[in-house]
Structure 1
Amino acid sequence: MNFQDCHEEQIHIPSHIQSYGYLIGLDSHKTIQFYSENILEIFDVDEEILGKQFEDYSNLFQKILKSYSYKNVDANPKETTKDLDKIILKDKEYHLTVYKFKGLIYIELEEYTKKQISRNTIYRGIKEIQAAKTEDEIWVALVHNICKITNYDRVMIYKFMNDGSGKVIAEQKHDHMESYMHLYYPESDIPKQARALYLLNYKRIFSDVHSKPVPVKSNLKEIDLTYSTVRAMSPIHAVYIKNSGASSSFSTSIIVDNKLWGLVTCHNTEAKHIDLFNRIQAEICTVMAANAYSSIKSQMIMENEALFTLKSIQLKNRLYQYDNLKESLFQNLNTVLEISHADGFAVAFEDEIEAAGETPSHEVIQNVVKWARKHLTTSFYTNHAFALKYYDEIPGLNLLCSGVAISFLGKERSKMLIWFRKEFREHIDWAGNPEKKEVNVLDFYDQKKKVISPRTSFMVFSEEIQGKSKYWSKKDILEIRKIHDTILETVQYQFEKVSLLNKELSQVNEELDSFSHTLSHDLATPLTVIKLNVQMLGKNKTDEAEKSKIDYILNEIDNMSTMMSNVLQLSRMKHSEYQLQKINPRGFIEKICEDSKLSYNSFTDIYIGPTPEIMGENTLLYQLFQNLITNAVKYSSQQENPKVEIRGKENGQWVVYEITDNGIGIPEQERENVFKLFKRFDNAKSFVGSGVGLSIAQSVMKKLSGKLTFESQENVGTTFILKFQKPMQDLN
């Protein structure tokens, strides 16, 4: 005896029809290839007609042959287009449906009943659906009108959830019946092949679950009844309906965005057939309701998208305020979180992590980052049961990371965005225990098969869902992807901004080279001539006032010469390559200190502390310390007790030197301009200088792959901090 699971059953080729219908099938040559054995009830067939020409029996099938539906079947541009007619056979009226499918012509008949819904009732029902303003109102209006059309005991709207299960969201029933409202049904109640069929054929009826299906006699191996209105239902489904306490069922498909959104499901305690006309009207009402829902949904989507777009623009503007991606993200964690449907948000940038909102510890986030970099093969990932699934694999997972969404920025996977959702506890009432399954033997059209039996009990079974977050909806995922794209746009913007700055910098450097050339060739000689002539004038002057003026002129000429020399040094520096070596700078530091004291104030107290070895080049280091020590002595020279301290120390992979003075300090508002060329501050105007020295110092540190920073307080003093590479043997 073969075992068959529910999802393996080929429900579209049952080789049987329901007893209320009749079926004849023709090939493209109008040869009879199959027919239901009950056609003898309505046609006086006294010989075997299988394999015969249908039109050869013009007397027997006269009403069909003369019908519009049959005559027009070849003219339909699309297969499965159904033409409906009404014919009279043996003094009874029958609905006639003719259509083509897979090269075959299907002729279906079912008896016409007098219990047809009035057109006024249909019109009022459609108007009621169109007048609905909310989703709930639409489905209430739909069940109300389907109830009128079918007159079934119970009508429900069954919505498919994200996990494939279904939930009753609207219901109309007789007062004495138990309500199924808000109950959940497991995914297995409607197997995947049934859902696929419901997307093709929007309505189906099971008039009498106790009635024996009618065999179809055929020359063909299989007869595809996908679009048939008389197809026999699955024996498994028949048992399911019986177990629910019903004898008849009818359903229509709710199609939204070309997907099976849900079902209108109708149950009746007694066997009951619904006329084909009424079934079509129920289908039309369902389509109208689905369209009304789509309209409301589209309006909500438009409003949400407009609001999200506005927030995205605000986020983009905030991200654009920074010059690099890391700072942009780290400074806007809360902004990203505010427009995300998440409880927490984290950014992993190389080995750095910053987080906002309700997130696990940095250590746990780091573990998640390591796991993602190792195991994820796609650039985007979501899971609403992350902590449950990977609790034993990732150390430290807790309820704050019950759900995660992960997005990589770039192919190198070093930059990562992580959204966290905490646990969302949920109480679910199932229509029967979804986990309870039994194997039984069922009769499949006179064949015995072992199957997983449908549930025998629909008694409410309660379940508490723990350890999972809210499901990541399509809307959530779309918005996260848009945030990801906004951040990538920021990367592009910052790249273009840096490229433009580099271009401008290149132009400035070219101008500086040209300016340096002018200084060295066009100004140096005239300046020397001027100085010589002024000196000659000074030799013949005895008046002290005049001599003072000449000395002033000579000092200014010397200042100009110094400025020209500094600019030339700065220009030449960027074109030179240097071989770094291990150097102890103490010797030239001491010389620079002595020279500076002679130049500015011989009473400056200079302390030279430890001077550990650094990686550098003699000329560059001399220029560096000369500029910084000279500045320290100069700008503290007017203090009552001028002091300068120079000391070095090892700090990890760096050697750090600090040059501290108690001079005039740097104004708060000017700190971002410290290293700009020719920049001099108002509190330094009384000191001689060119505004080039600190630019040279910064250029030297870049050449040495070091870092130059400072700390300063106006009228208190300044400390320049120099971070040099530690010699390799020290690192080892």
Structure 2
Amino acid sequence: MADVSEGVDLSICDREPIHLPGAIQEHGLLLGLDSGLKIRRFAGEIDAVFGGGDLIGRPLGDVMDIRSLELGAEEPLAKFIGTLTLSGESFDTFFHRSSEEFVLEFEHAPARRRTGEEVLHILGPLMKRIADAEDIQTASRAAAEGVRNITGYDRVMIYRFLADETGQVIAEARAQDLDPFLNHRYPASDIPRQARSLYLSNPVRIIPDVAYMSQPIIGGDGPLDLSGALLRSVSPIHIQYLKNMDVGASASFSLMRDGELWGLIACHNSTAKPIAHEEREMGSCVATALMQSVGRLEEDSNQREAVRLMRRREELLPVVAASDSVTAGLQRHRDEIRRLIDADGVALMLDTEIVYSGVTPPEAAIRAIRQWLSDEGLDQVATPSLSQIYAPAAEWTSAGSGLLARVVSWSPRLIILWFRREEVETVNWAGNPHKSLQPGQTPGMLTPRHSFELWAETVRGTSRPWRPAEQDAGTRFTASLAELGRQRTLRDLNRRLTSEVAEKDLLIREMHHRIQNSLQIVISMLRPQDGELSEDRVRERLGQARDRVLSVALVHGRLWRSEDLQNLNLETFFAELTEELVRTWPPEWQDQVSLDLDAVKISAHRALLIALVVSELLTNAVKYAYAGSAGPLQLSLRKSKGDYIAVTVSDRGSGKGPTDVHEGFGSRLVQRLVDSMGGELTVASNNPGTSVKMRIPLAGD
């Protein structure tokens, strides 16, 4: 802020605790109550309403009839709870909670209230005008005219906050003898940050008489937070501001969108003028309707722009993708990239090379911007005034005041810089914004400016702003480029991997066939032909060796056919194993083996060990269970609790004693294999026959 004398505290407005004024306006009364509804503090002309005497500590019910009031609500904002007659006067009554206290406020009721029919007659057509508006300007003008009709104030403005926290009057309804404020800009200091915060938390503020005498709050242990109060006394600086504007009464209704303060419906009157509760509620309805319309119009506009930008992007990406490389595609279509978001120029940093389209800063400046982005760790920048955040940009504002930067990749380097030229703007301020606050008579204190006459200022170094849809389009385009680059890299990698895998696949197939052939040769050699071997002992040993090699061959074949090279499905593996074993047995055994198997996956290593045990048990059952004859055998597989499996081989033969069974069915090889897997082997009678069960953990070494 220029032209302010040395020693003046420029931050006093932002630091002023306006929610703790310690006083109320004089058009009402206030009582502060504890949780038991005893009076802790008061403000206003209490004696005239409640009679003399000390009110502090007295129950509220002792000083007024509260039976008709709903005092249980704990709303953070003053809520209308009814109209009371006190000492012959009617008061509208409001109640809310402030920290640990309840606040009861009384406001003089109007002599005449609008009927419900009158309210609907006013609001119905007004709501329709606002809802049917085709642009924000039309909707705002309808809202301003409607609120002026409701309040009877001389001037009602729709005041919109801009991105730099300044405000602008975008619509106005006024008396003919008043000078227009339409399109006037106001500095951010006119509405300090803590005032904006209060507008967010309490959307209605009234000052029916700017010349009021504040009424101090008496009693209490500390300052009372009046953020939610109706009668809160206003900052002396703001009162002086209104007086300097020749305003006698003021009111405002907050305009909020997505939880943020979009603007205000600001009402001014040249003389004192109250606004009754009903009129304030009507004004709040208008504010809500306006913001609904604004939301719809802004969303419709953003949607249309987003669709337009999306179509441009969808037309551009395929032609870039069709090029030999992403870099070549960007170079070839640089003009389309510039036009993607209506930029005046674009610079594409493709590793060490820079290519341009349109109006851009010089190459040295482009490389300096790249270094600045890197030093600051910035992947995205969107600003209409680059020189405000990057001082060297002040040297070439005519070529690039606005910057939209998107980093696709730092290595290899791919950065897109869109530029917009400076657009010299004339801003019509309501008074000199550099003198919005001036030294007061008290040293170190400030008073608001006295003049609000039109003050034109030429603003340089600023471009057209980057709208949200344009920023999003830049982000989506660069994200698509990054994905396109990844896809090309993956395609190249897949092409190489496919070639290498094909070569390895040929080698593995050759190895598989050789292993299978070798195993089949061994099995054939171990399968004695009739009459070749005369000794039963030798024949038995060769048969056992053949079955074990067969199990190994089956595991290898199953792994080869499976997509999972680490695990086997025991259900299908057991089915194949028994089928192969039965082929080596005498023909009468072909239909004697039944299977009852759960689907269980287990590691290939453990599957091989289990297969060896099952082969051994089935082979022994064939030899001993039915004394050389054929009979039913059953192989079952169950998954049990605790990540265990149970494999059982049983017959319905003559049965054997436990010792003989252990020697015959549970050979030392079987026992060692089961022990190596951390399992248990049990032999039991099957009545008739024998049942051998092994319980093995699914996981293990």
TM tier, smaller: 0.5 to 0.7
Deviation at 1:512, TM superposition (A): 9.6
**Alignment deviations for residues 597-648 of structure 1 (CA, whole Å, 9 cap, x no partner):** xxxxxxxxxxxxxxxxxxxxxxxxxxxxxxxxxxxxxxxxxxxxxxxxxxxx
Q: Which residue identity is paired with 1:26?
A: L
Q: Does 1:110 align with 2:115?
A: no
- Of 253-262 and 402-411, deviating more is 402-411
Are residues 40 and 494 of structure 1, via their aligned partners in 2, closer, same or farther at CA, if it must alter by over 3 Å?
Answer: farther
| Aligned 8 A contact 1:34 1:220 in 2 | no
Name the residue aligned to 2:678. none
Q: Does 1:480 align with 2:474?
A: yes
Given candidates 64, 68, 71, the residue that maps to 1:61 is 64
Written as runs of structure 1 = structure 2, the 5 A alignment for 1:295-374 is 295-373=296-374
Q: Which residue identity is paired with 2:57?
A: G
- Of 159-168 and 335-344, deviating more is 335-344
Given candidates 19, 22, 36, the residue that maps to 1:15 is 22
Counterparts of 2:302 and 2:372, CA distance in 1: 35
Name the residue aligned to 2:483. 489
Counterparts of 1:270 and 1:255, CA distance in 2: 28
Name the residue aligned to 2:148. 147
Name the residue aligned to 1:261. 262
**Alignment deviations for residues 505-539 of structure 1 (CA, whole Å, 9 cap, x no partner):** 32465589999x9xxxxxxxxxxxxxxxxxxxxxx
Name the residue aligned to 1:638. none
Counterparts of 1:37 and 1:428, CA distance in 2: 44
Are residues 483 and 116 of structure 1, via their aligned partners in 2, closer, same or farther at CA, if it must alter by over 3 Å?
Answer: farther
Given candidates 447, 460, 463, the residue that maps to 1:469 is 463
| Aligned 8 A contact 1:430 1:462 in 2 | yes
| Aligned 8 A contact 2:26 2:44 in 1 | no
Helix, strand or coil for the counterpart of 2:170? strand
Written as runs of structure 1 = structure 2, the 5 A alignment for 1:379-418 is 379-387=379-387, 390=390, 393=392, 397-410=396-409, 412=411, 414-418=413-417
Given candidates 62, 82, 107, the residue that maps to 1:85 is 82
Are residues 509 and 475 of structure 1, via their aligned partners in 2, closer, same or farther at CA, if it must alter by over 3 Å?
Answer: same
- Of 468-477 and 240-249, deviating more is 468-477
Name the residue aligned to 1:51. 57
| Aligned 8 A contact 1:437 1:452 in 2 | no
**Alignment deviations for residues 410-432 of structure 1 (CA, whole Å, 9 cap, x no partner):** 35583322111111111111000
Deviation at 1:396, TM superposition (A): 6.4
- Of 30-39 and 235-244, deviating more is 30-39
Written as runs of structure 1 = structure 2, the 5 A alignment for 1:48-197 is 48-55=54-61, 57=62, 60-62=63-65, 65-70=66-71, 72-73=72-73, 79-80=76-77, 82-114=79-111, 116-117=113-114, 118-119=118-119, 120-197=121-198
Name the residue aligned to 2:524. none
Q: Give the count of matched residue pairs.
A: 500
- Of 23-32 and 169-178, deviating more is 23-32
Deviation at 1:100, TM superposition (A): 2.0
Given candidates 20, 32, 38, the residue that maps to 2:45 is 38
Counterparts of 2:27 and 2:101, CA distance in 1: 22
Q: Which residue identity is paired with 2:97?
A: K
Counterparts of 1:508 and 1:260, CA distance in 2: 64
- Of 475-484 and 423-432, deviating more is 475-484
Name the residue aligned to 2:642. none
Q: Which residue identity is paired with 2:478?
A: H
Deviation at 1:84, TM superposition (A): 2.7
Helix, strand or coil for the counterpart of 1:482? helix
Deviation at 1:9, TM superposition (A): 0.7
Are residues 223 and 385 of structure 1, via their aligned partners in 2, closer, same or farther at CA, if it must alter by over 3 Å?
Answer: same
Written as runs of structure 1 = structure 2, the 5 A alignment for 1:564-713 is none
Are residues 2 and 19 of structure 1, via their aligned partners in 2, closer, same or farther at CA, if it must alter by over 3 Å?
Answer: farther
| Aligned 8 A contact 1:402 1:469 in 2 | yes
Q: Which residue identity is paired with 1:467?
A: G
TM-score normalised by L of structure 2: 0.67
Are residues 357 and 508 of structure 1, via their aligned partners in 2, closer, same or farther at CA, if it must alter by over 3 Å?
Answer: farther
Are residues 41 and 449 of structure 1, via their aligned partners in 2, closer, same or farther at CA, if it must alter by over 3 Å?
Answer: farther
Q: Which residue identity is paired with 1:97?
A: F
Are residues 479 and 50 of structure 1, via their aligned partners in 2, closer, same or farther at CA, if it must alter by over 3 Å?
Answer: farther
| Aligned 8 A contact 1:402 1:468 in 2 | yes
Deviation at 1:199, TM superposition (A): 0.7
Name the residue aligned to 1:523. none
Deviation at 1:144, TM superposition (A): 0.9
Q: Which residue identity is paired with 1:468?
A: T
| Aligned 8 A contact 1:51 1:219 in 2 | no
Counterparts of 2:327 and 2:389, CA distance in 1: 31
| Aligned 8 A contact 1:387 1:397 in 2 | no
Counterparts of 2:395 and 2:204, CA distance in 1: 51
Q: Which residue identity is paired with 1:425?
A: V
Q: Does 1:6 align with 2:13?
A: yes
Deviation at 1:398, TM superposition (A): 4.5
Deviation at 1:49, TM superposition (A): 2.1
Are residues 455 and 406 of structure 1, via their aligned partners in 2, closer, same or farther at CA, if it must alter by over 3 Å?
Answer: same
Are residues 82 and 438 of structure 1, via their aligned partners in 2, closer, same or farther at CA, if it must alter by over 3 Å?
Answer: closer
Name the residue aligned to 2:206. 205
Give the % identical residues.
25
| Aligned 8 A contact 2:98 2:226 in 1 | no
Are residues 483 and 84 of structure 1, via their aligned partners in 2, closer, same or farther at CA, if it must alter by over 3 Å?
Answer: farther
Helix, strand or coil for the counterpart of 2:41? strand
Q: Which residue identity is paired with 1:365?
A: I
Counterparts of 2:8 and 2:405, CA distance in 1: 45
Are residues 249 and 413 of structure 1, via their aligned partners in 2, closer, same or farther at CA, if it must alter by over 3 Å?
Answer: farther
Are residues 277 and 388 of structure 1, via their aligned partners in 2, closer, same or farther at CA, if it must alter by over 3 Å?
Answer: closer
Are residues 221 and 411 of structure 1, via their aligned partners in 2, closer, same or farther at CA, if it must alter by over 3 Å?
Answer: farther
Helix, strand or coil for the counterpart of 1:199? helix
Counterparts of 1:5 and 1:176, CA distance in 2: 36
Q: Which residue identity is paired with 2:94?
A: T
- Of 217-226 and 466-475, deviating more is 466-475
Structure 2 unaligned blocks of 5 or more: 1-6, 512-701
Name the residue aligned to 2:232. 231
| Aligned 8 A contact 2:78 2:230 in 1 | no
**Alignment deviations for residues 76-129 of structure 1 (CA, whole Å, 9 cap, x no partner):** 5x5447243111122222111112232321111101113545312233322322
Are residues 47 and 378 of structure 1, via their aligned partners in 2, closer, same or farther at CA, if it must alter by over 3 Å?
Answer: same
Given candidates 454, 460, 485, the residue that maps to 2:448 is 454
Q: Does 1:279 align with 2:280?
A: yes
Name the residue aligned to 1:27. 34
Counterparts of 2:328 and 2:209, CA distance in 1: 69
Counterparts of 1:41 and 1:472, CA distance in 2: 60
| Aligned 8 A contact 1:439 1:450 in 2 | no
